[in-house]
Amino acid sequence: MRLLSSKIPKSGELTIKEVGDPGNEQYAILSHRWGEKEITLKDVESGSYNKNSEAYLKIKGCCKEAERNGIDWVWIDTCCIDKTSSAELSEAINSMYFWYAKANVCYAYLNDVFYKEEFSNSVWFTRGWTLQELIAPSNMKFFNRDWQYLGTKLDFINQLSACTGIPTGILSGKDDLESLSVAQRMSWAAKRVTTRIEDQAYCLMGIFSINMPLLYGERENAFIRLQEEILRLSDDPTSFCVEIY
């Protein structure tokens, strides 16, 4: 796992370190919708990034918030994973639910929201990956596009439950995911979309405590493999009748 320093010097340079066990680290984690041109790990390592770009300002906003909260490190998927390495990408995606759950705080950045009244209309709620990013963290804070604080997951819990279909007990962490049927958990993803078809399955692995290799290019077969793994680990009869997307 790589972490980005929350302390950005006046020069604007971004600094990354590698850690062995994230369970021993204090870090904030970002949940966001990807833009067209994000800053990658290669960009950070080479120092080749536009400090006036939306991507950089998003990273800077996350780092400033973490520093304000007394947290020295942050994890951001766009620049903390070497996506040119299929092995590293697979390990990261299989670990992602754990990383979000173990973070000191998760910052949900809604780049299409200005006011609280627009909160539940954000595109953030339509993406596949943000489903586990909403459920896993115990401490979650929402911010608008200018990094103005909107509130916590608990502040919005009834609104969140209404627009996602996820029970408040799951959102608050009072109830365990395993207490709900496979079909009910799958239903939360029914209206969510991913850029790559395989991610429709991969983004659900953490919700079902599944670990499996990633095979980009397998298309719909990814969801078949996910169902097979769920069936192997569960005696829930609703596993046989699940169709989403």
pLDDT tens for each residue of 214-239? 999 999 999 999 999 999 988 776 65
Is the confidence at residue 140, as pLDDT, over 90? yes
Residue 21's pLDDT is 84
Could you tell me which residues are beta bridge partners of residue 93? Answer: none
Share of the chain above pLDDT 90, in %: 91
pTM of the model: 0.94
Is there a contact between 111 and 75 (Cβ–Cβ < 8 Å)? no
Is the confidence at residue 245, as pLDDT, over 70? no
- Mapped onto helix, strand or coil, the DSSP state of residue 9 is coil
Could you tell me which residues are beta bridge partners of residue 17? Answer: 3
pLDDT tens for each residue of 45-103? 999 999 999 999 999 999 999 999 999 999 999 999 999 999 999 999 999 999 999 99
21 or 39: which carries more pLDDT confidence?
39
pLDDT tens for each residue of 94-135? 999 999 999 999 999 999 999 999 999 999 999 999 999 999
Is there a contact between 219 and 200 (Cβ–Cβ < 8 Å)? no
* Two structure tokens written together for 130: 């943000």
Whole-number mean pLDDT of the chain?
95
- Apex CA 163: angle with CA 157 and CA 165, to 5°? 85
